[in-house]
Amino acid sequence: MRARVLALAAATALLLSACSSEPSVPDDQVVKPASVPSKWSTEDLGVLSVSAPASWDLQPATKPAKNITSTTWRTGVDDDGRASGGLEVKVITDPQAPAEKAAESLAVSALATLRSGTVDPLSIVWPDATDAWYLAYTATVGLPDDEVAYPTRTMVLDLDEKTQVQVTVLTAEGTDEKVIDQVLTTVKLTPAE
Protein backbone atom coordinates (compact mmCIF):
# COMPACT_ATOMS: atom_id res chain seq x y z
CA MET A 1 0.00 0.00 0.00
CA ARG A 2 2.75 2.38 0.98
CA ALA A 3 4.58 1.64 -2.24
CA ARG A 4 1.46 2.54 -4.23
CA VAL A 5 1.11 5.81 -2.38
CA LEU A 6 4.73 6.68 -2.99
CA ALA A 7 4.42 5.76 -6.65
CA LEU A 8 1.27 7.86 -6.99
CA ALA A 9 2.95 10.79 -5.27
CA ALA A 10 5.96 10.47 -7.50
CA ALA A 11 3.78 10.32 -10.60
CA THR A 12 1.78 13.34 -9.45
CA ALA A 13 4.97 15.27 -8.76
CA LEU A 14 6.26 14.33 -12.18
CA LEU A 15 3.04 15.46 -13.83
CA LEU A 16 3.01 18.74 -11.95
CA SER A 17 6.63 19.25 -12.85
CA ALA A 18 5.84 18.58 -16.48
CA CYS A 19 2.95 21.03 -16.41
CA SER A 20 5.00 23.85 -14.96
CA SER A 21 8.20 23.21 -16.83
CA GLU A 22 9.49 25.78 -19.27
CA PRO A 23 12.34 25.70 -21.75
CA SER A 24 15.66 25.81 -19.98
CA VAL A 25 18.10 28.58 -20.76
CA PRO A 26 20.59 27.29 -23.34
CA ASP A 27 24.16 27.08 -22.10
CA ASP A 28 25.43 29.07 -25.04
CA GLN A 29 22.80 31.84 -24.80
CA VAL A 30 24.30 35.31 -25.10
CA VAL A 31 22.95 36.38 -21.71
CA LYS A 32 21.81 34.09 -18.89
CA PRO A 33 20.48 34.61 -15.36
CA ALA A 34 23.24 34.76 -12.76
CA SER A 35 23.71 35.56 -9.13
CA VAL A 36 23.93 39.16 -8.01
CA PRO A 37 27.52 40.41 -7.58
CA SER A 38 28.51 41.54 -4.14
CA LYS A 39 28.09 45.21 -3.27
CA TRP A 40 25.26 45.59 -5.77
CA SER A 41 21.85 46.90 -4.81
CA THR A 42 18.68 45.04 -5.70
CA GLU A 43 15.42 46.86 -6.41
CA ASP A 44 12.02 45.20 -6.32
CA LEU A 45 9.84 46.72 -9.05
CA GLY A 46 6.83 44.46 -8.53
CA VAL A 47 6.79 42.28 -11.60
CA LEU A 48 10.56 42.00 -11.56
CA SER A 49 13.65 42.70 -9.53
CA VAL A 50 16.92 43.96 -10.94
CA SER A 51 20.31 44.75 -9.46
CA ALA A 52 22.86 47.44 -10.26
CA PRO A 53 26.18 48.58 -8.83
CA ALA A 54 25.57 50.37 -5.55
CA SER A 55 27.21 53.50 -6.96
CA TRP A 56 24.50 53.91 -9.59
CA ASP A 57 21.89 56.49 -8.57
CA LEU A 58 18.29 55.35 -8.60
CA GLN A 59 16.03 58.08 -9.99
CA PRO A 60 12.37 58.63 -9.06
CA ALA A 61 10.05 56.55 -11.22
CA THR A 62 8.26 58.37 -14.02
CA LYS A 63 5.35 57.60 -16.36
CA PRO A 64 6.24 58.50 -19.97
CA ALA A 65 2.82 57.13 -20.94
CA LYS A 66 -0.26 56.07 -19.03
CA ASN A 67 0.59 52.40 -19.32
CA ILE A 68 4.34 52.69 -18.75
CA THR A 69 6.34 53.07 -15.57
CA SER A 70 9.99 53.94 -16.13
CA THR A 71 12.67 53.50 -13.49
CA THR A 72 16.16 54.75 -14.22
CA TRP A 73 19.59 54.41 -12.66
CA ARG A 74 22.38 56.80 -13.72
CA THR A 75 26.11 56.86 -13.12
CA GLY A 76 29.07 59.08 -13.96
CA VAL A 77 27.06 62.27 -14.37
CA ASP A 78 29.26 65.16 -15.60
CA ASP A 79 28.87 68.90 -15.10
CA ASP A 80 26.52 69.10 -18.08
CA GLY A 81 24.23 66.52 -16.51
CA ARG A 82 25.18 63.82 -19.01
CA ALA A 83 25.57 60.32 -17.57
CA SER A 84 28.25 57.91 -18.70
CA GLY A 85 26.03 54.91 -18.11
CA GLY A 86 22.97 53.54 -16.47
CA LEU A 87 19.90 51.40 -16.59
CA GLU A 88 16.27 51.95 -17.52
CA VAL A 89 13.45 49.53 -16.74
CA LYS A 90 10.10 50.03 -18.42
CA VAL A 91 7.16 48.09 -17.02
CA ILE A 92 4.38 48.21 -19.62
CA THR A 93 0.81 47.15 -19.02
CA ASP A 94 -1.38 46.30 -22.01
CA PRO A 95 1.52 46.69 -24.45
CA GLN A 96 0.67 47.72 -27.98
CA ALA A 97 2.84 44.98 -29.42
CA PRO A 98 4.16 41.61 -28.21
CA ALA A 99 7.84 41.24 -27.36
CA GLU A 100 8.91 40.15 -30.82
CA LYS A 101 7.30 43.13 -32.55
CA ALA A 102 8.46 45.49 -29.83
CA ALA A 103 12.03 44.27 -30.24
CA GLU A 104 11.78 44.76 -33.99
CA SER A 105 10.48 48.29 -33.54
CA LEU A 106 13.21 49.08 -31.01
CA ALA A 107 15.78 47.84 -33.50
CA VAL A 108 14.66 50.14 -36.29
CA SER A 109 14.23 52.94 -33.81
CA ALA A 110 17.85 52.51 -32.72
CA LEU A 111 18.91 52.56 -36.33
CA ALA A 112 16.96 55.74 -37.00
CA THR A 113 17.64 57.74 -33.86
CA LEU A 114 20.86 56.34 -32.43
CA ARG A 115 22.93 55.66 -35.54
CA SER A 116 23.28 52.06 -34.42
CA GLY A 117 23.40 50.50 -37.85
CA THR A 118 21.31 47.41 -38.48
CA VAL A 119 20.28 45.65 -35.28
CA ASP A 120 19.11 42.04 -35.31
CA PRO A 121 17.04 41.11 -32.25
CA LEU A 122 17.88 37.67 -30.83
CA SER A 123 15.24 35.35 -29.44
CA ILE A 124 16.30 34.16 -26.00
CA VAL A 125 14.87 32.11 -23.17
CA TRP A 126 14.30 33.78 -19.82
CA PRO A 127 12.77 32.22 -16.71
CA ASP A 128 9.08 33.08 -16.26
CA ALA A 129 8.92 35.00 -19.55
CA THR A 130 6.47 33.82 -22.20
CA ASP A 131 8.67 35.42 -24.84
CA ALA A 132 12.05 37.12 -24.61
CA TRP A 133 14.25 39.09 -27.01
CA TYR A 134 17.72 40.61 -26.74
CA LEU A 135 19.23 43.52 -28.65
CA ALA A 136 22.89 44.55 -28.67
CA TYR A 137 24.10 47.70 -30.42
CA THR A 138 26.19 50.81 -30.00
CA ALA A 139 24.23 54.04 -29.69
CA THR A 140 25.84 57.23 -30.96
CA VAL A 141 24.59 60.37 -29.30
CA GLY A 142 25.32 63.99 -30.14
CA LEU A 143 26.14 65.96 -33.26
CA PRO A 144 29.04 64.72 -35.38
CA ASP A 145 31.61 67.01 -33.76
CA ASP A 146 30.55 66.07 -30.23
CA GLU A 147 29.34 62.50 -30.41
CA VAL A 148 29.76 59.78 -27.82
CA ALA A 149 29.34 56.04 -28.39
CA TYR A 150 27.43 53.95 -25.85
CA PRO A 151 27.44 50.15 -26.11
CA THR A 152 23.84 49.28 -25.28
CA ARG A 153 21.87 46.13 -24.47
CA THR A 154 18.11 45.75 -24.24
CA MET A 155 15.98 42.83 -23.11
CA VAL A 156 12.27 42.71 -24.00
CA LEU A 157 10.31 40.25 -21.87
CA ASP A 158 6.64 39.33 -22.03
CA LEU A 159 5.36 38.06 -18.70
CA ASP A 160 1.90 37.49 -20.13
CA GLU A 161 -0.40 39.22 -22.59
CA LYS A 162 -0.91 42.09 -20.20
CA THR A 163 2.60 42.83 -19.02
CA GLN A 164 5.85 43.53 -20.82
CA VAL A 165 9.22 44.54 -19.40
CA GLN A 166 11.95 46.36 -21.32
CA VAL A 167 15.36 46.59 -19.66
CA THR A 168 18.03 48.80 -21.26
CA VAL A 169 21.59 49.09 -19.96
CA LEU A 170 24.38 51.18 -21.45
CA THR A 171 27.78 52.56 -20.66
CA ALA A 172 30.08 54.96 -22.46
CA GLU A 173 32.61 53.36 -24.76
CA GLY A 174 35.92 52.85 -23.02
CA THR A 175 34.43 52.29 -19.57
CA ASP A 176 33.77 48.88 -18.02
CA GLU A 177 31.51 47.42 -20.70
CA LYS A 178 31.13 44.06 -18.96
CA VAL A 179 28.77 45.64 -16.50
CA ILE A 180 25.97 46.09 -19.05
CA ASP A 181 25.41 42.38 -19.64
CA GLN A 182 26.10 41.74 -15.97
CA VAL A 183 23.14 43.93 -15.02
CA LEU A 184 20.87 42.02 -17.38
CA THR A 185 21.81 38.72 -15.74
CA THR A 186 20.27 39.95 -12.50
CA VAL A 187 16.79 40.46 -13.97
CA LYS A 188 14.39 38.18 -12.16
CA LEU A 189 10.73 38.11 -13.14
CA THR A 190 8.03 37.66 -10.55
CA PRO A 191 5.44 35.23 -11.89
CA ALA A 192 1.81 36.21 -11.35
CA GLU A 193 0.13 34.24 -8.56
Applying CB under 8 A, the residues found at the interface with another protein are: 59, 62, 64-65, 68, 70, 72-74, 81-83, 85-88, 90, 92, 95-97, 101-102, 104-118, 139, 141, 143-144, 150, 152, 154, 164, 166, 168, 170
Q: Which of 23, 29, 41 is nearest to 186 (CA)?
A: 41
Nearest-angstrom CA–CA distance, 109 and 93? 21
Q: What is the largest CA-CA distance in the chain?
A: 81
Pick 12 or 96: Cβ nearer another protein: 96
Name the minimum Å distance from CB 76 to another protein: 10
CB of 72 vs another protein, minimal distance in Å: 5
Quote the CA–CA distance of 47 and 167 in Å, as a whole number: 13
Least distance from another protein to the Cβ atom of residue 141, Å: 6
Contact 174, 188 (CB under 8 A): no
d(CA 106, CA 122): 12
Identify which of residues 29 and 67 has a Cβ nearer to another protein in the complex: 67
Closest approach of another protein to the CB of residue 170, in Å:
6
Which residues are registered as beta bridge partners of 153? 136, 169
User: CB-wise, 6 or 77, nearer to another protein?
Assistant: 77
